[in-house]
């Protein structure tokens, strides 16, 4: 197999000389070759420590390779088909067809600071890094490596371990850009930050971006992180996000996934919580071909709180896999996981929750719950909440249910004159409400409620074919990409 440079003719006209596109099936050998060939570009912004990390990560990947079904933690999610496709890989930013309304599923009436990524690259008109008056820095990770090497070095690859995870190793070795957010000590972000990661490309694309979110002591941030695709081409995204919550900080985190059916998204999010840090994390998966969320919460200080909520609505042959690992390494911490799924047609859902309570983590509170509704005989759910406890003074519980829609409740509603379809909707909607009600931002909650309703009525598709008829945002986000500035 050879990784060849794709001949750049035809539709891609705006590419400058720096552009490189490689096109082939993904394999371990291929990736190694690709790294060597594009070494210069990949490492162009690296400081020495970051270069070293890349080197280590590459050796890890060489050892581990891509996951396969023989691995315990991958036995319910098969990447064979996703890895078997032919993808473009870009080592320089590519412009898409930067239409005005490329991203319409914005949240109406929500005033956010928007940062966008297109095909894994941070995009901006002319400011790759925004520095707000209050000290908040947000923008391109590539740029942050150059401008704030000390901060980046302190945190990058410190939380997302790659020694035993081939995909994280691959991302760590390859990632060139992504989003960087830094909230200094004692600063509260006045408005939510919305990170929009759009895939819009003319053929199947492989992308790996890396995000680094740092919250200082006593700081506060709301972060809405959207993964969207614009057209129907396939994609394989291997995204790693590291989040550091320093003492007493608060992060309200949302991951909103709405990708097309040909997409594969491996989203690894590792969050480290220092003393008394508080995390609310919401994983709202509306659509996607194959989604794997690897979520890891590390309590590294006492009295931390992590609420992790998940809602997934799958149909057709879609597959979602939520792996949540919570490490109670310190005493007095509380973790609370509620994951709910509605699985229709031939879709499948996996939940693997692992809570580890270490010996010293006394007074731990841990709760895990996963509930699934199967709407057809062919939909499947695989649920495995798991508690591993070595401390004795703890309160831990877990539960898991998988079943059909409650036929007695359905009859009750219909007996009052509510049509069967509406009654089903009401029940499904009520099922989802437990997770939706945890959304702290009212406008976002309304918008998600609306999306869920439409999704359950089979109306919600990804943008291009979107029948969502979402109100055109007052200020549509324009992707105006100036490649030279990135």
Partner 1 sequence: MLLSIKNLHASINGKEILKGINLEVNEGEVHAIMGPNGTGKSTLASVIAGREVFDVTEGEIKYKGKNLFKLSVEERSREGIFLGFQYPVEIPGVSITNFMRTAVNEQRKYRGLDPLPAGEFLKMMEEKKKLVEIQSNLTNRSVNEGFSGGEKKKNEIFQMAILQPTLAILDETDSGLDIDALRIVANGVNTLRTKENAFVVITHYQRLLDYIVPDYVHVLFEGKIVKSGFKELAIELEEKGYDWIKKEFE
Compute the least distance from the CB of residue 395 to partner 1, in Å. 22
Which of residues 78 and 450 has its CB atom nearest to partner 1 in the complex? 450
C-beta closer to partner 1: residue 11 or 415: 415
Q: Tell me whether residue 84 or residue 419 sits nearer to partner 1 (CB atom).
A: 419
In the complex with partner 1, the residue whose CB is nearer, 164 or 437, is 437
CB of 448 to partner 1, least distance (A): 15
- Distance separating alpha carbons of residues 164 and 386, to the nearest angstrom: 20
CA distance 99 to 96: 8
Residue 287 pairs in a beta bridge with 258
* Closer by beta carbon to partner 1, 185 or else 434: 434
Distance CA 6, CA 21 (A): 6
CA 146/CA 50 separation, integer angstroms? 11
Nearer to partner 1, 325 or 429 (CB): 429
Provide the minimum distance between the beta carbon of 397 and partner 1 in the complex, in angstroms, as a whole number: 18
> Closest Cα to residue 166, out of 35, 57, 26?
57
Closest approach of partner 1 to the CB of residue 447, in Å: 19
- The dihedrals phi and psi of 132, each to the nearest 5 degrees, come to -85, 160
Cβ proximity to partner 1, 245 vs 311, nearer residue:
311
CB of 435 to partner 1, least distance (A): 10
> E-strand spans in 246-304?
250-258, 263-273, 278-287, 290-299
Three-state secondary structure call for residue 249? coil
58-95 burial, b for 16+ CB within 10 Å, e for fewer?
A: bebbbebbbbeeeeeebebbebeebbeeebbbbbbbbb
Q: What's the closest the beta carbon of residue 277 comes to partner 1, in angstroms?
A: 30
- Please name the residue that has the structure tokens 């079943």: 403
Could you tell me the smallest distance in angstroms from the CB atom of residue 434 to partner 1? 6
Q: For the chain, what is the radius of gyration of the CA atoms?
A: 22
Q: Select 131 or 449, whichever has its Cβ closest to partner 1.
A: 449
Closest contact distance (angstroms) between CB of 417 and partner 1 is: 4
CB of 401 to partner 1, least distance (A): 13
Residue placing its CB nearer to partner 1 in the complex, 110 or 433: 433
Structural tokens at position 400: 């898991």
Instruction: Please name the helix (run of DSSP H) or strand (run of DSSP E) that holds residue 98, with its range, or none.
Output: none
The minimum distance between CB 84 and partner 1, in angstroms, equals: 41
Pick 357 or 373: Cβ nearer partner 1: 373
Rounded-to-integer distance, Cα 240 and Cα 262, Å: 20
Pick 210 or 371: Cβ nearer partner 1 = 371
Task: Let me know if 133 is exposed, middle or buried by CB neighbors in 10 A (0-12, 13-18, 19+).
Answer: exposed
What does the block give as tokens for 370?
A: 């996963």
Q: How far apart are CA 236 and CA 88, in angstroms?
A: 10
**Could you say which DSSP state residue 463 is in?**
G
* Binding residues for partner 1 (CB under 8 A): 406, 408-409, 411-420, 422-423, 426-427, 429-434
CB of 369 to partner 1, least distance (A): 13
CA dihedral 433, 438, 444, 446 (to 10 degrees): 30
Strand partners, 257: 227, 285
20-63-74 Cα angle (round to 5):
90
Q: How far is the CB of 437 from partner 1 (least distance, A)?
A: 9
CA angle 145, 147, 150 (to 5 degrees): 65
Neighbour count for residue 422 (Cβ, 10 Å) = 13
Residue closer to partner 1, measured from CB, 156 or 432: 432
């Amino acid at each position: 197999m050879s990784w060849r440079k794709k001949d750049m003719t035809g539709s891609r006209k705006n590419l400058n000389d720096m552009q490189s596109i490689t096109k082939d099936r993904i394999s371990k050998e291929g990736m190694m070759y690709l790294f060597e060939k594009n070494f210069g570009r990949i490492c162009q912004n690296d400081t020495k420590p970051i270069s070293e990390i890349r080197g280590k990560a590459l050796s890890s990947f060489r050892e581990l390779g891509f996951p396969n079904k023989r691995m315990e933690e991958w036995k319910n999610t098969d990447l064979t088909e996703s890895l078997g496709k032919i993808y473009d890989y870009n080592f320089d930013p590519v412009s898409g067809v930067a239409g005005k309304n490329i991203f319409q599923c914005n949240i109406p009436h929500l005033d956010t600071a928007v940062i966008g990524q297109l095909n894994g690259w941070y995009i901006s008109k002319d400011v790759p890094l925004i520095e707000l008056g209050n000290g908040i820095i947000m923008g391109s990770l590539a740029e942050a490596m150059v401008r704030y090497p000390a901060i980046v070095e302190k945190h990058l690859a410190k939380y997302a371990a790659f020694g035993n995870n081939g995909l994280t190793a691959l991302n760590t070795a390859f990632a060139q850009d992504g989003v960087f957010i830094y909230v200094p000590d004692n600063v509260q972000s006045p408005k939510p930050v919305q990170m929009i990661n759009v895939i819009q490309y003319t053929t199947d694309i492989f992308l790996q971006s890396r995000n680094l979110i740092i919250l200082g002591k006593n700081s506060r941030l709301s972060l809405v992180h959207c993964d969207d695709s614009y057209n129907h081409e396939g994609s394989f995204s291997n995204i790693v996000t590291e989040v550091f919550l320093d003492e007493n900080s608060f992060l309200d985190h949302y991951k909103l996934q709405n990708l097309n059916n040909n997409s594969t998204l491996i989203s690894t999010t590792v969050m480290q919580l220092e003393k008394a840090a508080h995390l609310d994390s919401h994983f709202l998966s509306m659509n996607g071909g194959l989604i794997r969320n690897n979520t890891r919460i590390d309590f590294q200080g006492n009295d931390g709180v992590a609420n992790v909520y998940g809602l997934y609505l799958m149909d057709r042959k879609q597959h979602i896999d939520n792996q949540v690992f919570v490490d109670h390494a310190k005493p007095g911490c509380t973790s609370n996981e509620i994951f709910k799924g509605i699985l229709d047609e031939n879709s499948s859902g996996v939940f693997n929750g692992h809570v580890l309570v270490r010996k010293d983590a006394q007074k731990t509170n841990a709760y895990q719950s996963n509930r699934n509704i199967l709407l057809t005989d062919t939909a499947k759910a695989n649920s495995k909440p798991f508690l591993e406890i070595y401390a004795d003074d703890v309160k831990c519980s877990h539960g898991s249910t998988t079943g059909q829609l409650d036929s007695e409740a359905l009859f009750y509603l219909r007996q009052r004159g509510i049509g069967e379809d509406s009654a089903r909707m009401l029940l499904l909607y009520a099922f989802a409400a437990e997770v939706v009600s945890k959304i702290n931002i009212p406008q976002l909650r309304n918008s998600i409620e609306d999306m869920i309703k439409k999704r359950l009525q089979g109306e919600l598709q990804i943008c291009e074919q979107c029948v969502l008829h979402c109100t055109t945002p007052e200020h549509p986000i324009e992707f105006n990409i100036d490649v030279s500035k990135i």
